[in-house]
Amino acid sequence: MKKGILILTITTILMMLSINVLAVCPCTQNTVAVYVDGEKLSFPDQAPFINPDSRTLVPVRFVSEALGANVDWNGELQRVDISHQGKGIKLTIGQKEAKVDVGVVTLDTNAAIVSDRTMVPLRFVSECLGAEVEWNGNAREVYITTQNAKPVKPFEGVSFNQEEELPVSEYLGYKIPRTNEPGARVSYITVDELPAQVGPYVIYSLGVDDEYVHVKQRVISSSSLAKPAGMHIKENGYLTRNRHYGDGQQGIYTYSYPLTLRGEIADGLEKADKTKIEAFVFNSINENIDSEVLVIANPLYEGGN
């Protein structure tokens, strides 16, 4: 009888300990990626995670300093003080109240110490510092945009007909879908106007070398599936090559599109010359099933043949 009671007692204690561990220790599958103004933050020892309150906690120093704020730790009071452009935030470990300037704000979760790192609610801190926060639940990613970030240029295209403005070469034989319908729109920009949006894609930057066009981008989608934006190459007034790939990744990343494919050389098309490519053309279909086409001028273009 006593042995049975002892086993039951030990089992109960272990269960309580496991609950406490789960309450403060993130599991691997709960970790999230954090981007600030398009750059992914690196967390060398303690990654951000989703706590039992379904809130994202982040190491306060890494994120606050990425947002341009100063961080001080008061060990005696178990409190982290964040200051940024005259605004002050005080968060005490284990409390669901924070002092913001002279007021008090009730939080929906509290700060905690995990692996010797002070973890704070990401959205609360970011928005207090004047940043915008976007959460992609399927991809488990957080996008933070600060006040200093260059705003994304929205798609503001004009009506067009592909056969007149972006004719297809005989070699390619591939038209951009739905571009001759009434809702089709095209926008012509330069790399200096990036970042810009087309359909669900944001194009952050574009660079060209002898072999590739390197495009920093992300897809704005709730889907867990992602692939690089479709791209065409414009040479001598025609769309001569297309690049549509199914392999991609989540988050903001740079995808390198080859200027020339082996099959193109085998079929008699010359190797692409980076100085003779007029533009790079990205296309997508918007929520109204209309075609959006973004034409970005090649910064290395020196003229045609």
3-state class (DSSP) for residue 67: coil
Q: Answer yes or no: is pLDDT of 102 > 70.
A: yes
| C-alpha R_g of the chain | 26
CATH number of 28-145: 3.30.457.10
More confident residue, 136 or 223: 136
The arithmetic mean of pLDDT across residues 282-294, rounded, is 88
CA-based end-to-end distance of the chain: 96
Q: Where are the domains of the chain?
A: 28-145, 158-297
Q: Answer yes or no: is pLDDT of 118 > 60.
A: yes
Dist CA 239 CA 175 (whole Å): 9
What's the pLDDT at 9? Answer: 47
What's the pLDDT at 305? Answer: 62
pTM: 0.81
What's the pLDDT at 226? Answer: 74
Instruction: Give the pLDDT band (50/70/90) at residue 27.
Output: very low
Tokens 């190491």 correspond to 59
pLDDT per residue as tens digits for the range 133-187: 999 887 889 999 998 899 999 999 999 888 889 999 887 768 888 888 889 999 9
Which residues, in sequence order, are CB contacts of 192 under 8 Å at separation 6+?
Answer: none
